[in-house]
Structure 1
């Protein structure tokens, strides 16, 4: 259930003016979501590129995203009546040391090259753990990657990485670097949700001195969701 103090703002960022929806006081009794997570026994390393552990979030939470938020999401992201069919939601905690990061885990990324699918980061932690940033790829100027840009983007990105070669130190992306320019940073805040198109280039703000705290009550604990058309 949405919190009775639910509030939101919309920002249109960068040259492409991609919409970012920021919701505070998102769900009622958010701490109960942490309590539920503590009962789970399916925690495992993510099978994709997320640098940490994941576990399935409650079905009721996924239903909330495509029912109670439907009208707001359709309005902000210019979606049609059939564009919000289902959501997949996962408890998430960052757990990968810098030395173990793959190359792709050190870059801004997009989730799917589709403008009609959405991603949600729901913070169950405070602002000491870093928020979420959105980026522009310097070589192409792209701030989002759709199917038309997909092949071109990866070809040029590979050249960027090869040019840096051994001079590139392993790190979590957290601000401007040689390949990406940050265009917006949204701080973490307990019970804040940040919603954006899956095609938008983004990355979590993981500090260089981040302490990998696996305790859901004290670490960088979030629910990551993907809303599909």
Structure 2
């Protein structure tokens, strides 16, 4: 029996990870946060004082480290770098910027794609990222392009960082969001774009519960077809 796959793409701060995780739980699917894989590589580069945009140095780091993905007793995805759990450490603004840079390196995307596809081949998955529906899983059963205004996404990220104890100001977060949008949409390797057969969902002004209900209804209808 073939496995079902749900691809959720969209810009930074659109709520992909939170909603994808909740969707996976509701459907009994495996949740895969692909952005966390790139964040882990960015963290490894930053720890070594390497510019995440330097392709040669980043590839050297990639071939010299071990990145693992696991699931804890809490049911959440955890990222491991050389055996150490770095799940919380990869959520800082510096690592976010670094992840955008390393993910623009074509050889990095090629190297990590097999890991993502293997997961989708072995389990029913909900996978979120920037190019899941266009590159990683072009044959996904359901494709969603999740978005919200830059201001809305910046507000959400700002509040998330404050809850984690990270000292930031809203205007800085907004500038980072806009800059990342530009990098993600203009990169040559698998740029952020909506797949032709993806359903666009704008969550601006919607609560998390409203967005979840909307997405679950959409997904269930499409899986039933």
Scaled by the length of structure 1, what TM-score is found? 0.25
